[in-house]
Structure 1
């Protein structure tokens, strides 16, 4: 594999791309339509993966100066991919995502359209605003579940999962801003930790997570899922709460643990839906 091809693959963040595709599938599965509408499910997963890959590539295009400080090993700063090449690659991926989304129901197409606009506005205007960029990223992650559910015709089934994912993602994004505060300050960005201080930003992040944890038993209380869901989501809650605590002393470790806690929360919904079949 040439260095340019390798760099292009790195631009997409393959791990994040696969994870986003899985989340969309989970949304369709939780909505009960993954087996009944396999083509719609596959198109939604493909559209999500292409859109996330495109978003990551164009984010690196706009962040190339910041990454030269915070992440000098990324493809553009190290010279593996040119800025113009990254931009062209991103536009091609966006085109593929749009083609895949056009076969889906109208509501799913509408969600995809809103997400595309939100992603572009975030990348160009909101990334460095206190809390605003974090909010948009949180919505985009949560909406992958909503998109998957809408693709099979039952958007309401993905709503709770969307909200819980968005709240926990907001927490992780704020912690990541604390981790990247040096480079963000150098570039003149006004992220939440810069605007209100690192500790206050982490308190806001922790409160968002507490809301998510308190809301996580709702599918059990509403008798949508049974005890297997509750057992797994309780473990996820504990991991994420510990991660939030750890973030005050070690933001890097904290956001790493949050990622795994969020993964366990997704597993909880899969277990809950499988047990309900």
Structure 2
């Protein structure tokens, strides 16, 4: 008696998890990246000159919008459209590793964009406009056809403006009830946005190999590691030197000297970074950038004293 014929062989299919773990979604949104816009928003709040304790709910709501909502949205969008690059550079991330399967990365990015906009509705017209602009920049940075991150000059500028300048100005405007912030606060927000361009360049050193393979023209790819490192340092330091001059010119010498000390510390770190930029970019991001954002807050208090 012959055996029954077996069914045609089929290619093995990947079994997707039936439930996505909250921890994987949180990792997907990169909480460590939420700090810069949350900090910049707080700097804007401080620079407004308005009482903080009596506006604490506004401050908390704005910080949530800047970090866990808008910044998380930009990270979700970026990871979805960078999933092929991440499969080369960082295969353990949630999408390449399969922990966020199928098109769920895209769905989360869309849902978080909508949640960010809804959250902004009760913070006033200025915040709604800023949120729409932030969402637009998040998608333009990562998604085709714009995909600003394909060129390090444009992509870093978009992130610097969104994470630093836009967040700062929004924090100030919220505290002022939608009024235009003082020109000195706007100037500081603009200068630190320029500096953020250099900070973003530091983040590109870890992905040079994958960027080359997939045609992402980050500044380390375009200029080479050594020249990109020097440019990043110049772009970070130069705006802060202007800030120092402004603080002294505005009659705020103690704030000016404090920022001077922080810039001196950054400069010392940068000299070490320039000796081995690829190996030390993450180190400078961790310690040098901490000094830079500390100077932001000191400058915000200087602007507060002038209002």
- TM range, smaller chain: 0.7 to 0.9
Q: What is aligned with 1:141?
A: 163
Q: What is aligned with 1:242?
A: 268
Q: Distance in 2 between matches of 1:201 and 1:261?
A: 16
Q: What is aligned with 2:49?
A: 32
Match of 1:85 among 87, 104, 112: 104
Larger Rg: 2
Q: What is aligned with 1:11?
A: 28
Output one character per residue of 1:87-112: Cα deviation in whole Å (capped at 9) or x when no partner: 22222222221122122343333222
Q: How does 1:181-196 map to 2 (within 5 A)?
A: 181-196=208-223
> Which structure 1 segments of 5+ residues have no match?
none
Q: Distance in 1 between matches of 2:193 and 2:36?
A: 15
Note the C-alpha offset of 1:166: 1.8
Q: What is aligned with 2:142?
A: 123
Question: Does 1:150 pair with 2:176?
Answer: no
Moved more, 263-272 or 40-49: 263-272
Q: Using a 3 Å threshold, how does the CA distance of structure 1 residues 196 and 22 change in structure 2: closer, same or farther?
A: closer
- TM-score computed with the length of structure 2 as normaliser: 0.79
Whether the aligned pair in 1 keeps the contact of 2:49 and 2:305 (CA below 8 Å) is no
Per the alignment, in what secondary structure is the counterpart of residue 216 of structure 1?
helix
- TM-score computed with the length of structure 1 as normaliser: 0.87
Q: Distance in 2 between matches of 1:155 and 1:246?
A: 38
Q: Distance in 1 between matches of 2:220 and 2:85?
A: 16
Note the C-alpha offset of 1:180: 1.6
> Which structure 2 segments of 5+ residues have no match?
1-18
Q: Distance in 1 between matches of 2:293 and 2:233?
A: 20
Q: How does 1:173-188 map to 2 (within 5 A)?
A: 173-188=200-215
Q: How does 1:192-207 map to 2 (within 5 A)?
A: 192-207=219-234
Q: Distance in 1 between matches of 2:282 and 2:27?
A: 20
Note the C-alpha offset of 1:76: 0.8
Q: What's the Cα RMSD here?
A: 2.6
